[in-house]
Amino acid sequence: MTTKPYHHGNLRDSLLDAADALLAQDGAQALTLREVAKAAGVSHAAPYHHFASREQLLAAVAARAFAALATAMAAADGDRARDQGVRLMDICEVYVEFARARPAQFRLMFGPMLAQKAHYPDLKQAAESAFHVLVVAATAFDAARGPELALTGWSLAHGLANLAIDEAFTDLPIAVPAPAVLARAMAARMLGLQGGVDQ
Amino acid sequence: MTTKPYHHGNLRDSLLDAADALLAQDGAQALTLREVAKAAGVSHAAPYHHFASREQLLAAVAARAFAALATAMAAADGDRARDQGVRLMDICEVYVEFARARPAQFRLMFGPMLAQKAHYPDLKQAAESAFHVLVVAATAFDAARGPELALTGWSLAHGLANLAIDEAFTDLPIAVPAPAVLARAMAARMLGLQGGVDQ
DNA sequence: ACTCCAATCTTTACACTGGAAAGATCTGTA
DNA sequence: TACAGATCTTTCCAGTGTAAAGATTGGAGT
DSSP assignment of A49-113, as one string? GT-SSHHHHHHHHHHHHHHHHHHHHHHHTT-TTS-HHHHHHHHHHHHHHHHHHSHHHHHHHHSGG
Could you tell me what percent of chain A has a pLDDT over 90? 74
The confidence score (pLDDT) of residue B4 equals 64
Residue A173: is its pLDDT beyond 80? no
Q: Model confidence over A83-93: pLDDT tens digits?
A: 999 999 999 99
pTM, entire model = 0.91
CB of A119 within 7 Å of some strand D atom: no
Alpha-carbon gap: A19 to the closest alpha carbon of chain B (Å): 17
Alpha-carbon gap: B40 to the closest alpha carbon of chain A (Å): 25
Residue A195: is its pLDDT beyond 80? no
Check CB contact of B74 with chain A, cutoff 8 Å: no
Residue A80: is its pLDDT beyond 80? no
Nucleotide with the nearest C1' to A55 CA: D17
Check CB contact of A144 with chain B, cutoff 8 Å: yes
On the 0-12 / 13-18 / 19+ scale of CB atoms within 10 A, B126 is buried
Alpha-carbon gap: B158 to the closest alpha carbon of chain A (Å): 5
Task: Answer yes or no: do B112 and A110 touch at CB < 8 A.
Answer: no
Rounded to whole angstroms, how far apart are CA atoms B156 and B187? 8
The confidence score (pLDDT) of residue B193 equals 81
The confidence score (pLDDT) of residue A193 equals 81
On the 0-12 / 13-18 / 19+ scale of CB atoms within 10 A, A5 is exposed
B52 vs A173, which has greater pLDDT?
B52
The confidence score (pLDDT) of residue A13 equals 96
Rounded to whole angstroms, how far apart are CA atoms A163 and A168? 5
Question: Which domains can be identified in chain A, with CATH numbers?
Answer: 1-52 (1.10.10.60), 58-191 (1.10.357.10)
Check CB contact of A152 with chain B, cutoff 8 Å: yes
- Distance from CA(B54) to C1'(C22), angstroms, rounded: 22
By C-alpha distance, which of A141, A169, A165, A171 is closest to A153? A141
Tens digit of each residue's pLDDT, chain B (199 residues): 445 675 677 899 999 999 999 999 999 999 999 999 999 999 999 999 999 999 999 999 999 999 999 999 999 998 777 899 999 999 999 999 999 999 999 999 998 888 888 889 999 999 999 999 999 999 999 999 998 899 999 999 999 999 999 888 887 777 889 999 999 999 999 998 865 444 3
Rounded to whole angstroms, how far apart are CA atoms A106 and A99? 5
